[in-house]
Amino acid sequence: MDEASVVSLEVERRGAVCLVSPHGRIGEAEAHPFQRELLALADQGAKKFIVDLSDVSFMTSSCLGALMVVHKRVRPQGGYVRLAGPQPLVLRILEITKLTRLFGSYRTVREALAAK
């Protein structure tokens, strides 16, 4: 694992929800640091994650795996991982792997926040 890889992302708290906005690609190199960042937030008590994918141009199964790890961590605590605004090519990945059902995928961040 290469510790030097970094995924560029912003984190914003909206009440009880942690809004995470990564940028660019989340492939093999970026998935591990991405997972670490989210788990660190979970350590600090965050349970409800909305991942804004509007600026993510590419992802691989490693990214899905990372999201899965976080999902399994917060779900038992009543939390969730929701995906918002995926680009068409990325949305297709989520649909093919049927993860839109598991995570919940929304067209916008607002819809993701508003959902129950």
Segment 65 to 84, residues that bind another protein, using CB under 8 A = 65, 68-69, 71-72
Other C-beta atoms lying within 10 Å of the C-beta of residue 57: 12
Q: Which of 64, 74, 84, 109 binds another protein (CB under 8 A)?
A: 64
Beta bridge partners of residue 18, listed in sequence order: 13, 49
Q: How far is the CB of 29 from another protein (least distance, A)?
A: 7
Q: How far is the CB of 26 from another protein (least distance, A)?
A: 11
Asked if residues 106 and 80 have their Cβ atoms less than 8 Å apart, the reply is no
Distance CA 106, CA 85 (A): 6
Stretch 33-62: interaction string toward another protein, x if CB under 8 A:
-------------------------x-xxx
Picking from 62, 55, 53, the residue whose alpha carbon sits closest to that of residue 100 is 53
115 near another protein (CB under 8 A):
no
| Pair of tokens at residue 17 | 């929800």
The site for another protein (CB under 8 A) is made up of 1-2, 27-29, 58, 60-62, 64-65, 68-69, 71-72, 89, 93, 96-99, 101-102
